[in-house]
Structure 1
Amino acid sequence: MNPPLKQLDLHPLREDLYNELHSRPFHVLPCPAQITHIALLTTPEQRAVQFRHWQDLHIMLGQSEPREDLSCYEATFGSLRIRREMHMEFASYTFINLDAEDDHQPFQDTGISSLPKGWLETLTGTVVAAFHIDLQQASSGPETDLAQIRHWFEGERLVGSSPWEGKARVWGTFRLHSDGFGRFMVLNRDMSDSQLGRLTQRLMEIETYRLMSLLSLPLAREMTPSLNDMDQQLAVITQSLADNQDIDERDVLADLTNIAARIEAFRAHATFRFSATRAYHQLVLTRLEELREDELSGHLTITEFMTRRLTPAVETCESVKGRLEDLSRRVDRASDMVRTRVELAIQSQNQQLLSSMDRRSKIQLMMQHTVEGFSVVVISYYLLALLKLALESADDAGFDVNTSLVLGIAIPVVLGLVFIGVRMIHHRFIRLARRQ
């Protein structure tokens, strides 16, 4: 019997949607262990190169190479476990040394100590995050010897907390150390391997997303002087419009167009980075909540440190992004005002032109009436001249015609008929014009 779903039209991505929630499982980590996490910004071209590099590592370590580039791939090479994860704009590698001894010296051996020589140095991409995490049992580690812990962190000021209701202690500095890596130490008191894996993964995500969220801060600082200049220039233009000063609208529109072009260039360059900052910051805050930290006397917790240091940086980026949007809207409004002034000036010129044309039309109409009066006289004169010729011809032919009398009577009649005819023609053309 066939399953009922076989008869239905299944979405082609249905299986992928189910698998997506399980594509990045939490680590299950023994204690002690040494972990190194590296995150690199990558381009699509570099991703292909990284995958071939990932295949080369399997060959170096004597294992069959993977054939498919998965979003999350984990492999174990003896005591070395490596996870490769592909994200939207970066790739992360987690190297875990599972063979750490209980009395090992933290950060002397790390997760990358067992890698083949030269493999890590040829990894493509731009490193953003790179740090070591050392896992120790609290019973065998220096749980309360802060001087010793500070020594392992090269004397830097410690940030620490007791997450998960005191089941562990976490120490870090959020600084780079002499080897170029950051450092964290986790002292396990009462956590299972799966709990320890989840805690460690959250620490890796907090540090990685923290650094990714800060990528836009230098960009925001670089843009701020230019935004100040454009803001001042726009303020001067707006004030000149408010004071109704006599300005060259063409030059003002050119200046506004130049400002708008620069703003759009900044937005095209920075919008994605600012949006990513907001998203990464939200992920950091979510992971911090999941730590459920308790304070260690005299030390900032990770949450307090992030709130005090990271949040203002993110707010700076948000402020610059907001200024870009605000400047863009103000430039649009100023451009509208200038265009309105131009349109009003054009309308005023058109009105003056129409008034001038109206005056000219009246003059032409008066001239036309004058010409019509002259034309009546002229036409009447020629008609009377023709009538006189006709009368003289009749007199020569022997007809008894009083030419002077007939012409005297004909003059007012001809003038009246010609005048009426001219007026009829004039009104006919007016009616034709009105119909059109």
Structure 2
Amino acid sequence: MSADTSSLDFHPLRADLYQELHSRPFQIIPPHARVTQIAVITTPEQRTRQFEHLQKLHRLLGEPWPEQEVSCYEQSFGKLRIRREVHMEFTSYTFINLADSDADPFAETGLSLLPDGWLAQLEGTVVGAFHVEVRSSSEDARSELAFMRKHFEGMRLVGSSPQEGAARVLGSFQLHSDNFGRFMVLNHHMSNSQLGRLIQRLMEIETYRLMSLLALPVAREITPSLNDMDQQLARITQSLADNESLDEQQILAELTNIAARIEAYRAHTTFRFSATRAYHRLVLTRLEELREDEVSGHLTITEFMTRRLTPAVKTCEAVNERLEDLSRRVDRASEMMRTRVELAIQSQNQQLLSSMDRRSRIQLMMQHTVEGFSVVAISYYLIGLLKLGLDALTGTGLTINEPLVTGLAIPVVMVLVFIGIRTIHHRFIRMARRQ
């Protein structure tokens, strides 16, 4: 009796997660096939028009067309098989010509069965385009190599016997007269599915190799500017170390300009350098999966890639690391410059406070002087009021010795005024201390 699972809460993406592992199946390719792959860098708008262009191909060939775009689409049109794979920044088209033919290698390709003019209208920028000629092998290894070499226009070849000698692969990793690259695969004893996996790995190695190298021109382009900024930053740092008299405002302006340029380069190159590392790892993974044996007189594909591709990728990584290092150094130099400015400001503030302290002392001394004059002035007015009062009393008939009373009142009034002013003064000081 099976358990009831209808009440389980399944994740809405569960089916998609299962399907993801099967979204790009390996192809099954028989011997005597001619394969062409084109990798096209596209914008989102171009990708939409590409899908419409694929629908147009179905109409030209009289077949029902797909209504929705998927990440991997494959369809056979008689002897022509087409596969379209959508990646993060490029779209790959694989055309497989399965028609029987006695033509020389590369005389017919995977494009031979396409309708005239359809390929010329393909949207996007082509970054990878190459043909793969698949044939059954003969027993004579020397005659095989001679046969394969004469179809690469005299170019130096790279090749191996993958899968422990189950096949033989040669390629030039260069553009030929038709502006396409070329690979030739001679099958010894591989099944059609094994052959499909081998060719898929070859196509991925070549496509990912080209995509990983897109960052190299960018790295070369910005290296002279990085050299200039490095020297400029070294000069600024040395000036700070020598404790020279500097124009802080000008130095900060230079550091800000360097930081802005570095951030602009980082914004322009971060994705490209990250993509280069990812593509390079994919290339190395596919090379391991080939399990190559050496063909006499030729570099293996792995040897060729590690000798040529890896240094290019390392150059891009070095430029990326240099950008990060320059950014950190600019931050440190800016921090030192800000510290220098803050110390200068603190010194100015200290001088200003000392000057204010001196002025405060002078003002206090002046205040004490003014207080002395204030005692005299207030006492004078109070004595004047007292004298007016005495005059008024004398006018009423009272007999008062005005000079004597006035003389005796002067010291008393002055003492009282002095005590009153000092009391007010101390009260204000206590209020200031409480605040």
TM tier, smaller: over 0.9
SS in structure 2 at match of 1:84: strand
**Are 2:138 and 2:144, in contact at CA under 8 Å, matched by a contact in 1?**
no
**AA at the equivalent of 1:249:** E
**AA at the equivalent of 1:94:** T
Show the counterpart of 1:309.
308
Show the counterpart of 2:274.
275
Show the counterpart of 1:21.
21
**Are 2:137 and 2:144, in contact at CA under 8 Å, matched by a contact in 1?**
no
Show the counterpart of 1:209.
208
User: d(CA) in 2 for partners of 1:296 and 1:135?
Assistant: 18
SS in structure 2 at match of 1:117: coil
Show the counterpart of 1:118.
117
Show the counterpart of 2:222.
223
**Are 1:143 and 1:187, in contact at CA under 8 Å, matched by a contact in 2?**
no
Aligned pairs (5 A) from 1:247-286: 247-286=246-285
How far is the alpha carbon of 1:190 from its aligned partner? Answer: 1.1
Aligned pairs (5 A) from 1:14-413: 14-101=14-101, 104-139=103-138, 144-413=143-412
SS in structure 2 at match of 1:391: helix
Establish whether residue 421 from structure 1 lines up as the match of residue 420 from structure 2: yes
Structure 2 CA distance for partners of 1:143 and 1:111, relative to 1, 3 Å: farther
How far is the alpha carbon of 1:393 from its aligned partner? Answer: 4.0
User: d(CA) in 2 for partners of 1:8 and 1:188?
Assistant: 50
| Aligned length, in residue pairs | 435
Deviations 1:82-140 (CA, angstroms, capped at 9, x unpaired)? 10111110000111111244x54211111111111111111111111111111111127
User: d(CA) in 2 for partners of 1:140 and 1:98?
Assistant: 24
Structure 2 CA distance for partners of 1:141 and 1:94, relative to 1, 3 Å: farther
How far is the alpha carbon of 1:150 from its aligned partner? Answer: 1.6
**Are 1:167 and 1:191, in contact at CA under 8 Å, matched by a contact in 2?**
yes
CA RMSD of superposed structures (Å): 1.7
**Are 1:209 and 1:280, in contact at CA under 8 Å, matched by a contact in 2?**
yes
**What percent identity do the matched residue pairs reach?**
72
Show the counterpart of 2:434.
435
Deviations 1:29-76 (CA, angstroms, capped at 9, x unpaired)? 111211111100011001111111101111111111111111111111
How far is the alpha carbon of 1:201 from its aligned partner? Answer: 0.3
How far is the alpha carbon of 1:290 from its aligned partner? Answer: 0.4
Structure 2 CA distance for partners of 1:175 and 1:128, relative to 1, 3 Å: same
Deviations 1:388-419 (CA, angstroms, capped at 9, x unpaired)? 33334444544333333333332222121111
**Are 1:37 and 1:95, in contact at CA under 8 Å, matched by a contact in 2?**
yes
**Are 1:158 and 1:172, in contact at CA under 8 Å, matched by a contact in 2?**
yes
User: d(CA) in 2 for partners of 1:42 and 1:115?
Assistant: 21
How far is the alpha carbon of 1:293 from its aligned partner? Answer: 0.7
TM superposition score normalised by structure 1: 0.96
SS in structure 2 at match of 1:128: strand
User: d(CA) in 2 for partners of 1:100 and 1:217?
Assistant: 42
**AA at the equivalent of 2:317:** E
**AA at the equivalent of 1:11:** H
SS in structure 1 at match of 2:126: strand
Unaligned runs of 5+ in 1: none
**Are 1:142 and 1:148, in contact at CA under 8 Å, matched by a contact in 2?**
no
TM superposition score normalised by structure 2: 0.96
How far is the alpha carbon of 1:238 from its aligned partner? Answer: 1.3
Unaligned runs of 5+ in 2: none
